[in-house]
Amino acid sequence: MPIDPNYRTNRKVVSEQNGIKIYEPYNPPKQLGIWGTIVGVDFDLCIADGSCINACPVNVFQWLDTPGHPASEKKAFPINEQACIFCMACVNVCPVAAIDVKPP
Ligand code: SF4
């Protein structure tokens, strides 16, 4: 199942890290929800493939350690989502369709 494209309106913001919003469900370490608003990554789907990190021309992502998460123990954190140029490379390469990008 891919990331919910309507999460920005369907889900509550429950936390924030480095200015990046975290959308429910958030029960760490096993449930981490969706991180980011311009560039959203469903951390519960992310398997730490890393293709998005390699594909992004403007370095939106950086690895974040998430020990104890069942899908992977690190995630592609969209810490620089403000830099996104909407090329959609990350969306297209993600093997588990964990990323949704929407201009503000
Ligand atoms: S859409 Fe392009 S610029 Fe934006 S985060 Fe994805 S790869 Fe980076």
CATH 3.30.70.20 fits 7-101, yes or no: yes
Does the CB atom of residue 55 touch ligand 1 within 6 A? yes
Tens-place pLDDT, residues 58-81: 999 999 999 999 999 999 999 999
**Distance from the alpha carbon of residue 52 to the mean position of ligand 1, in angstroms:** 8
Domain ranges of the chain: 7-101
- Residue matched to tokens 């398997």: 47
Q: Are 61 and 79 in contact (CB under 8 A)?
A: yes
Tens-place pLDDT, residues 20-48: 999 999 999 999 999 999 999 999 999 99
Beta carbons within 8 Å of 6's beta carbon, 6+ residues apart: none
